Amino acid sequence: MTKYPRELSMRTILLPRDTNAGGSIFGGVILSHIDLAAAVPAKKLAPTKRFVTVAMEKVEFLEPVFVGDLVSFYTQVVEIGRSSLKVHVDVIVERRDSPGTEIEVTSAFVTYVAVGADRRPIPIF
């Protein structure tokens, strides 16, 4: 697939303020964390560049996330273009009442573009 390794980019425990009316974590909170986690390998790849999110593809929630679950975001750079890069993110939870059991919650592909001060695309390298 790519020479870039899959790595843990972020881990968190979400709070009651992040819940929706159904009692699980609001999907938008998970999307926000996906975006933040995917930014980690982008910044590591080109630390002096400014990246903006241009797309988040194929997000399908397979399982809910609950308050107190340990949520891990694993990332891998899967494609690099002239000014853009695509990062795959896997979201895995460890239930608070079932330590050691990991459940896949969702995954996504996030595309970033490197931009200059004028917010126009610039080469990554």
- Per residue in 89-120, pLDDT tens? 999 999 999 889 999 999 999 999 999 999 99
- For residue 2, being part of any structural domain is answered with no
Q: Give residue 1's pLDDT.
A: 46
- For residue 94, being part of any structural domain is answered with yes
- For residue 77, being part of any structural domain is answered with yes
- For residue 122, being part of any structural domain is answered with no
34 Cβ neighbours under 8 A, 6+ residues apart: 56, 59, 73, 89, 91, 106, 108, 110
- For residue 33, being part of any structural domain is answered with yes
- For residue 102, being part of any structural domain is answered with yes
Contact 75/7 with Cβ under 8 angstroms?
A: yes
Report if pTM > 0.85: yes
- For residue 106, being part of any structural domain is answered with yes
Q: CATH code at 22?
A: 3.10.129.10
- For residue 121, being part of any structural domain is answered with no
CA angle 40, 6, 94 (to 5 degrees): 90
Contact 75/9 with Cβ under 8 angstroms?
A: yes
Q: Which amino acid is at 30?
A: I
Q: Give residue 110's pLDDT.
A: 98
Total domain count for the chain? 1
Quote the DSSP letter at residue 26: -
Between CA 77 and CA 7 the distance in angstroms is 10
For residue 41, the enclosing domain spans: 7-115
Mean per-residue pLDDT, 39-52: 96
